[in-house]
């Protein structure tokens, strides 16, 4: 920070943080559409291989009103110190943005977490994070998290809470299959607004499906009942995308691609072959699949993915937690899939597990994400 540009923006505090990406058992629940309130479960992915990195630079200008009010109330002394400051924020993530993998959730959660550290806030952060991105309220916590719709008209009780920590289910593993890491045509926010306004299926789900499924999912997580967990996960994913097509006009092009449907076919055939639900798929607002499975099944599923969606180069195809051994698959198993290989249809796999929420990694450090012009690299 020795250049003229950096001298102009020289901070007296520099905070570093990473936040973990998350996925949801997708439930677009109708409520106050202006507040975009939902009721959802989600699982936070591990920090291994996927990370949202945010730096927050503090300068002598003005602070946003919402944070100012919180700080004045909770930490008057800190407010006097920082009341004339402004924030310069630089964020970086190493996973696809606007591609249906909740990058905005991790970014906003990371930012809110940093602001709470800067201003010494001790309040419940989930509701504050929801102001920036609804999904971000879930990413404030690690492990298994539920986002409740709440009852208040102003949405103040629409917050998330952790029901089980990350270490609760150590054998649960996650494979993220990145089909397309480019920005999608219809944003999650736009799609959700249109669905709330026009989808009759969404209204029926909110009334008849969601309440019981929420209870069943919580019980499955608490008791580590993988079969129930997997079945609910896939049913919710299927119904979420049915809502997208029930939306008028429908969300086009659909979030799910041809490769997405092939992944569903592979998982379905694999479970049928084993006569047991060993793998679950879920898709958020994008073509990229998130597979939940047990540790003992990771190698075989990774081998199947490499066989039916072969990369041009296997080097770097699997990122994150290493998969020690890719086994040779039996002819019987391969034939039971009733599929043909489609080369290069999956860009890469992120191998990960249930992880923790945002955490500080540095404070007042010389490291930075800005170039010599004071802009992100």
Kindly indicate the confidence band of residue 39, based on its pLDDT and cuts at 50, 70 and 90: low
Mean pLDDT of 293-305: 97
Domain layout of the chain by residue ranges: 1-164+356-361, 172-353
Kindly indicate the confidence band of residue 148, based on its pLDDT and cuts at 50, 70 and 90: confident
Q: Is the pLDDT of residue 44 over 70?
A: no
Tell me if domain 1-164+356-361 and domain 172-353 are identical in fold: no
Q: Is the pLDDT of residue 170 over 90?
A: yes
Mean pLDDT of 42-70: 47
pLDDT of residue 16: 47
Q: How many CB atoms lie within 10 A of CB 372?
A: 11
C-alpha 244/C-alpha 86 separation (Å) is: 40
Kindly indicate the confidence band of residue 24, based on its pLDDT and cuts at 50, 70 and 90: very low
Kindly indicate the confidence band of residue 359, based on its pLDDT and cuts at 50, 70 and 90: confident
pLDDT of residue 304: 98
pLDDT of residue 6: 37
C-alpha 141/C-alpha 136 separation (Å) is: 10
Measured CA angle at 265 (ends 250, 99), to 5 deg: 50
Q: Tokens at residue 164, please?
A: 């089980």
pLDDT of residue 171: 96
Q: Is the pLDDT of residue 20 over 60?
A: no
Nearest to 55 by CA among 371, 367, 374: 367
Report pLDDT digits (tens) over 61-87.
344 455 555 555 566 666 566 666 666
Nearest to 41 by CA among 289, 255, 240: 240
Instruction: CATH number for 1-164+356-361: choose from 3.40.30, 1.10.12, 1.10.10, 3.30.230.
Output: 3.30.230
Element (H, E) at 230: helix 226-246
The DSSP annotation for 309-359 comes to: S--S--TTTEEES-----PPPPHHHHHHT-----TTSS-EEEEEEB----E
C-alpha 125/C-alpha 135 separation (Å) is: 13
Please list, residue by residue across 115-142, b when 16 or more beta carbons sit within 10 angstroms of its beta carbon and e when fewer do: bbbbbebeeebbbbbbebbbbbbbbbbb
Cα 243 to its chain centre, rounded Å, is 20
Q: Check: CB of residue 26 under 8 Å from CB of residue 43.
A: no
- Mean pLDDT across the chain: 77
Q: What is the pTM of this model?
A: 0.79
257 class by beta-carbon count within 10 Å (0-12 exposed, 13-18 middle, 19+ buried): middle
Element (H, E) at 299: helix 298-308
Q: Give Dmax (Cα) for the chain.
A: 71
pLDDT of residue 40: 54
Q: Tokens at residue 172, please?
A: 């649960």
Q: How many CB atoms lie within 10 A of CB 53?
A: 18
C-alpha 130/C-alpha 136 separation (Å) is: 6
Nearest to 231 by CA among 217, 243, 244, 245: 217
CB-based contacts of 221: which residues, under 8 Å, 6+ apart?
41, 144, 163, 164, 168, 169, 229
Torsional sign, CA 253, 257, 261, 263: negative
C-alpha 200/C-alpha 358 separation (Å) is: 37
CA distances from 248 to 195, 196, 342, 366, 368 (A): 7, 10, 33, 51, 45
Q: Which CATH superfamily is domain 172-353 in?
A: GHMP kinase, C-terminal domain (3.30.70.890)
Tell me, what DSSP letter sits at residue 100?
A: S
């Amino acid at each position: 920070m020795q250049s003229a540009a950096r001298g102009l923006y020289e901070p007296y505090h520099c905070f570093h943080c990473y936040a973990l990406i998350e996925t949801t058992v997708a439930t677009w629940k109708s409520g106050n559409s202006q507040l975009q309130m939902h009721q959802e479960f989600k699982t936070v992915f591990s920090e291994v291989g996927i990370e949202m990195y945010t730096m927050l630079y503090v300068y002598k200008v003005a602070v946003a009103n919402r944070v100012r009010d919180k700080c004045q109330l909770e930490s008057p002394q800190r407010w006097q110190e920082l009341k004339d400051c402004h924030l310069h924020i630089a964020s970086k993530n190493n996973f696809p943005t606007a591609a249906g993998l909740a990058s905005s959730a991790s970014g906003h959660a990371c930012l809110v977490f940093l602001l709470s550290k800067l201003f010494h806030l001790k309040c419940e952060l989930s509701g504050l994070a929801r102001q920036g991105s609804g999904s971000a309220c879930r990413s404030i916590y690690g492990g298994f998290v539920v986002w409740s719709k709440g009852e208040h008209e102003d949405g103040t009780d629409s917050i998330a809470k952790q029901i089980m920590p990350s270490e609760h289910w150590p054998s649960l593993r996650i494979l993220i299959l990145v089909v397309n890491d480019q920005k999608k045509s219809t944003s999650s926010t736009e799609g959700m607004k249109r669905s709330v306004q026009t989808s009759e299926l969404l209204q029926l789900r909110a009334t008849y499906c969601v309440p019981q499924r929420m209870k069943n999912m919580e019980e499955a997580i608490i008791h580590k009942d993988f079969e129930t967990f997997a079945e609910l996960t896939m049913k919710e994913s299927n119904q979420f995308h049915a809502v997208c097509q029930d939306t008028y006009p429908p969300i086009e092009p659909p979030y799910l691609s041809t490769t997405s449907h092939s992944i569903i076919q592979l998982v379905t055939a694999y479970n049928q072959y084993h006569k047991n639900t060993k793998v679950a798929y879920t898709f958020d607002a994008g073509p990229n699949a998130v597979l939940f499975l047990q540790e003992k099944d990771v190698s075989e599923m990774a081998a199947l993915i490499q066989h039916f969606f072969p990369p041009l180069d296997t080097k770097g195809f699997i990122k994150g937690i290493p998969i020690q051994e890719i086994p040779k698959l039996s002819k019987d198993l391969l034939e039971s899939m009733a599929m043909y290989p489609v080369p290069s249809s999956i860009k890469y796999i992120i191998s990960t597990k249930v992880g923790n929420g945002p955490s500080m990694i540095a404070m007042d450090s010389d490291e930075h994400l800005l170039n010599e012009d004071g802009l992100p690299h």
